[in-house]
Amino acid sequence: MPPVHPDTKIGHVHLKVSDLDRSIAFYSGVLGFEVTQRYGTQAAFLSAGGYHHHIGLNTWHSQGSGPAPKNYPGLYHTAFLYPDRRALADALRRVLAADIPLDGAADHGVSEAIYISDPDGNGVELYCDRPQSDWPIAADGSLEMNNAPFDLGALLDEFAKP
């Protein structure tokens, strides 16, 4: 079988949440995604840039529940790709202003990433890619990603630049 078409992309993530309004406050109020539609009190759709939705949230089977156990199969994290370091710095600024704890940060060689959790304990990665021409390539031609430290202070300085 040939590989999937190279222009195929992940269109959206749809999450079960325990409190719809709390999740909207996180994804819209903190991260800045716009609510495009609500289905009563049980579901909402959010997006960036006018797309119909990048994030679906629902309480259909999870209203009032606790987070899923960490050692069970399921979603590890949702990753939001920002267009550049300045946009990623703005995301970090929003997270820090909301007093959301960071779960980690890493320079992966191909990208720089910040890790947080949403109100239901779902992992969230906020990242920006480096130009593909700058990606680290091993001697055998394979991609050589890593987990190097990521200087978040330098990233915030990026946002402060005019």
Residues of the chain with CATH 3.10.180.10: 12-63, 76-162
| Digitized pLDDT (tens) for each residue of the chain, 162 residues in all | 999 989 998 899 999 999 999 999 999 999 999 999 999 999 999 999 999 999 999 999 999 998 888 888 888 999 999 999 999 999 999 999 999 999 999 999 999 999 999 999 999 999 999 999 999 999 999 999 999 999 999 999 977 877
CA dist 48 → 61, 68, 83, 125, 145 (Å) = 26, 27, 12, 16, 28
Determine how many CB atoms are found less than 10 A away from the CB of residue 44. Answer: 24
Fold annotation for 12-63: 2,3-Dihydroxybiphenyl 1,2-Dioxygenase; domain 1 (3.10.180)
Alpha carbons 75 and 148: distance in angstroms, whole number: 24
User: CATH fold of 76-162, please?
Assistant: 2,3-Dihydroxybiphenyl 1,2-Dioxygenase; domain 1 (3.10.180)
